Amino acid sequence: MELSPWLERATAEIRDWASSHGPVAVHPSLGVDEPALREALDVLVARLRKSYPFFHPRYAGQMLKPPHPVAVVGYVAAMLINPNNHALDGGPATSALETEAVGRLAAMFGLENHLGHLTSSGTIANLEALFVARECHPGAAVALSTEAHYTHARMCHLLGLPTRAVAADAHGRMDPAALAEVLATGDVGTVVATAGTTGRGAVDPVHEILALARGHGARVHVDAAYGGFFTLLAQDDPDHGPALVDPRPWRALAGCDSLVVDPHKHGLQPYGCGAVLFGDPAVARFYRHDSPYTYFSSSAPHLGEISLECSRSGAAAAALWLTQELLPLDRGGLGAVLAAGRRAATNWARMIQQSPHLELFQPPDLDIVTYFPRSPTPWTGTAALSAASTDVLDRGMKAEDPVYLSTLRVEAGAFAARHPAIPVDGSEVTVLRSVLMKPEAEPYLDHLHQRVEHLVRQHHQDRVKP
Ligand SMILES: *Cc1c(COP(=O)(O)O)cnc(C)c1O
């Protein structure tokens, strides 16, 4: 879809609504000189040109891509009003949109009951889940996989919660046997599982973790900030084919105590859109507080009464709601977007396995591919391999036909667990990592693969030169 006509339509409609309230003259203090604006805008755009092309499939690096145009239209329409979803006084219309949009997220995960709301980010959403976890089990520890997002340890520190590290297996998934040992100490109140780790996209065995945790009376929080929407691909579908991810961890989500998903990662939204969901609506009691400034318009619950943040963008809720209307949370809607990236990841993994220039670090669970350069003569050690990964990353960005990858530092033991034949000489190993989160990655795959193979060949050629 072409963005401009819809943006024009949205702005015209909101202008029409505004004018129904009667004319308001723009105050002279807010007036701007149009030539000065044109000049400043030129400077801004010139500076924005220094961005990486997140929209293009040649950008196969981090979890970054522009929002869907529908989200932009929804966001701009509401932003012109600038509602604040802290309270019904601030966002009567967008609070209702948020409640609906969050209800659809809860339904996607199969939650029968829920309490939930949007947040500014996955970090804040996880903070809220950990805050509730602390109130449920005061003084008890939080068990975290070594592959959990780094912000969990930070947020536990902030909340004064002790943590227990749980080892991951060779695939980067939480190891249930290691969890059983940690749980046996009896001091764990909450287990944090990750459905799609940020590094490798590994999906923890939530079904096994849930059973173990329940055996010890511990809560289970699932951080699905990045991976959550892949639950759309976890079922065989008569119209869209078989499940594209292992269904077992996803099915278990409905039985967990809380979960976090980031619509600003895989939900086509601009930044400022995370979400936290609780299975037991009664946890609302932990948020209880009063505000002398707000909450005058109704006795109905305000979103600010069940969230830690105060001001929050109502436009984010409008954008998410509109996107869900057009790309619903099913296999044919948003699922089709994720399916293309998932197919691209599995296909690229297969191509890498057959490549004389690249080696697969591990098969992808979702849409993150991890790989590293092969060497014409066996690698002397992981240090040379790491240097080659970094060099391929740099060369890719500087090339005439650039490709943008990312790197992942893997702890040496974790690397050796997967690739024991390569001698380890260093505490960490750098491999290459690509998040194929745009559906456009699928038709671009042959070119991307050729480009990366070429960069590896160039690295080795330049290395042997005197
Ligand atoms: C991105 C991510 C986070 C942090 O979310 P933000 O929205 O960046 O604050 C937390 N956990 C996982 C697994 C993530 O991928």
Any ligand 1 atom below 6 A from CB of 262: yes
How far is Cα 9 from Cα 3, in angstroms, rounded to an integer? Answer: 10
**For 232-249, what is each residue's pLDDT tens digit?**
999 999 999 999 999 999
Ligand 1 binding pocket mutation candidate from 128, 144, 151 (most atoms within 8 A of CB): 151
State the greatest distance between any 2 C-alpha atoms of the chain, in Å, as a whole number.
78
What is the position in ligand 1's atom list of the atom closest to the CA of 262? Answer: 7
Among 147, 200, 262, 312, the mutation site with the greatest number of ligand 1 atoms within 8 A of its Cβ is 262
Q: CA–CA separation, 317 vs 323, rounded Å? A: 10
CA atoms of 269 and 67, how far apart (whole Å): 5
Q: What are the pLDDT tens digits along the chain (466 aa)? A: 999 999 999 999 999 999 999 999 999 999 999 999 999 999 999 999 999 999 999 999 999 999 999 999 999 999 999 999 998 889 999 999 999 999 999 999 999 999 999 999 999 999 999 999 999 999 999 999 999 999 999 999 999 999 999 999 999 999 999 999 999 999 999 999 999 999 999 999 999 999 999 999 999 999 999 999 999 999 999 999 999 999 999 999 999 999 999 999 999 999 999 999 999 999 999 988 777 776 666 667 788 888 999 999 999 999 999 999 999 999 999 999 999 999 999 999 999 999 999 999 999 999 999 999 999 999 999 999 999 999 999 999 999 999 999 999 999 999 999 999 999 999 999 999 999 999 999 999 999 999 999 999 999 999 877 6
Tokens for 357, please give them.
């220039």
Q: Within 10 A of 450 (CB to CB), how many other CB atoms are there?
A: 13
Residue with CA at minimum distance from ligand 1 atom 5: 122
C-beta of 198 in contact with ligand 1 (< 6 A): yes
Residue 298 confidence (pLDDT):
65
Mind listing the domains of the chain with CATH numbers? 75-326 (3.40.640.10), 336-464 (3.90.1150.170)
438 close to ligand 1 (CB < 6 Angstrom): no
Strands 258-261 and 274-278, how do they pair? antiparallel
Whether the CB of 151 sits within 6 Å of ligand 1: yes
340 half-sphere exposure, CB direction, 13 A CA radius: 16
Residue 171 CA to residue 201 CA, distance in Å, equals 10
| Residue 361 in tokens | 């670090």
Tokens of 387: 């240097």
Q: How many Å lie between the centroid of ligand 1 and the Cα of residue 458?
A: 35
For ligand 1, say whether the CB of 229 is within 6 Å of any of its atoms. no
Q: 355: which 2 tokens?
A: 């490549």
Rounded CA-CA distance 461/242 in Å is: 44
Q: How far apart are CA 341 and CA 229, in angstroms?
A: 12
Tell me phi and psi for residue 141, to 5 degrees: -85, 165
Q: Of all protein residues, whose CA lies closest to atom 2 belonging to ligand 1?
A: 225
- pLDDT of the residue at 302: 81
Query: Do 103 and 355 form a contact (C-beta atoms < 8 A)?
Result: no
The pLDDT value recorded for residue 440 is 98
- 327 vs 70, 189, 230, 238, 322, CA distance in Å? 9, 38, 14, 19, 9
The continuous run of DSSP H or E covering 353 comes out as helix 334-353
Q: Whose CA is nearest to atom 3 of ligand 1?
A: 122
The answer to whether the CB of 123 is under 6 A from ligand 1 is: yes
User: Cβ(149) to ligand 1 under 6 A?
Assistant: yes
- Alpha-carbon distance of 7 to 77, in angstroms, equals 8
Residue 304: what pLDDT? 83
b/e burial code for range 307-322 (CB count within 10 A of at least 16 → b): bebeebbbbbbbbbbb
Q: Which of 123, 124, 309, 320 to mutate to test the pocket of ligand 1 (most atoms within 8 A of CB)?
A: 123
Evaluate: CB of 145 within 6 angstroms of ligand 1.
no
Does residue 274 have its Cβ closer than 6 Å to ligand 1? yes
Any ligand 1 atom below 6 A from CB of 194: yes
| 201 CA distance to ligand 1 middle (Å) | 12
Q: How far is the CA of 221 from the centre of ligand 1 (A)?
A: 14
Residue bearing the CA closest to ligand 1, atom 12: 225
Residue whose CA is closest, atom 6 of ligand 1? 122
pLDDT at 87: 86
Which is nearest to 410 in space by CA: 424, 393, 397? 424
Q: The whole model's pTM is what?
A: 0.96
- Over residues 251-267, the pLDDT tens digits come to 999 999 999 999 999 99
Q: Tell me the CB-side half-sphere exposure of residue 304, using CA atoms within 13 A.
A: 24
Tell me the one-letter amino acid at 355: S
Q: How far is the CA of 371 from the centre of ligand 1 (A)?
A: 22
